[in-house]
Amino acid sequence: MKKPRVLIVEDESAIAELIAVNLRHNGFDPVWAEDGAGAQRELDAVLPDVVLLDWMLPGQNGLTLARKWRSDARTKAVPILMLTARGDEPDKISGLDAGADDYITKPFSTQELMARIRAVLRRRAPEQAGEAVSIGDLNLDPVTHRVSWQGAPLKLGPTEFKLLNFLMRHPERVHSRAQLLDKVWGDHVFIEERTVDVHVKRLREALGIAGALVETVRGVGYRLTSEPHLQHLAVRET
């Protein structure tokens, strides 16, 4: 099987090298570009399976590059994982708005980085409506309207079912409350964002132990993950 190609766009060679070593060790094929121009040359030559994009770059920054690649027919479907040293909510949201699939805040553990890369690769499979979906031991079947955890059936309300269906079909990705309202509830301008929190709480209660898969991303929103409670540490921006 061909090794997944990962384009690392990072101006700090020490960080890029550390990431590349870990990627190679985990069965990936890393390619390094130190700025937007170099990355563009790589993208024009061979489309990678994932782009790891540093936010702070000389010349065009990561945000500008993400927007550019998202609007280009050739690169718009390539998953982008943003690397950022910033922890501010508006920055995270603008990263996601610019078209990044996910972001990782430095410092991050290489373990977490590998998990996130595997996650974006997994969800490249096209979404097929009507098909059952599984995340770990959690299963959801939209046809029979059944949810189970390790084979045991779970009872969910209709809104919680729709919410879980959406989260399971877009796992490992952070969704803001506004995005969830839009995707799960539809165009209901009079529903407050707090409503999302209420239904997430109900969903977690209904899921029992599996409720841990629904993570709160502070200041941003929610994410369904198959690998909760990852440890942080290791890579620091200098």
Residues in contact with Ca ion by the rule CB under 5 A: 11, 54, 56
In angstroms, give the least distance from the CB of 90 to Ca ion. Answer: 19
Distance from the Cα of residue 53 to its chain's centroid: 13
Tokens matching residue 73: 């027919």
In angstroms, give the least distance from the CB of 127 to Ca ion. Answer: 33
Nearer Cβ to Ca ion, position 56 or 230? 56
Nearer Cβ to Ca ion, position 11 or 29? 11
A 10 A CB-CB count for 81 gives 19
In angstroms, give the least distance from the CB of 25 to Ca ion. Answer: 23
Cβ neighbors of 49 (< 8 A, separation 6 or more) are 4, 5, 6, 78, 79, 121, 124
Q: Which residue is nearest to Ca ion (CB)?
A: 56
A 10 A CB-CB count for 136 gives 14
Name the DSSP class of 124.
T
Nearer Cβ to Ca ion, position 52 or 147? 52
In angstroms, give the least distance from the CB of 162 to Ca ion. Answer: 40
Nearer Cβ to Ca ion, position 11 or 112? 11
Backbone angles phi, psi at 17, to 5 degrees: -65, -45
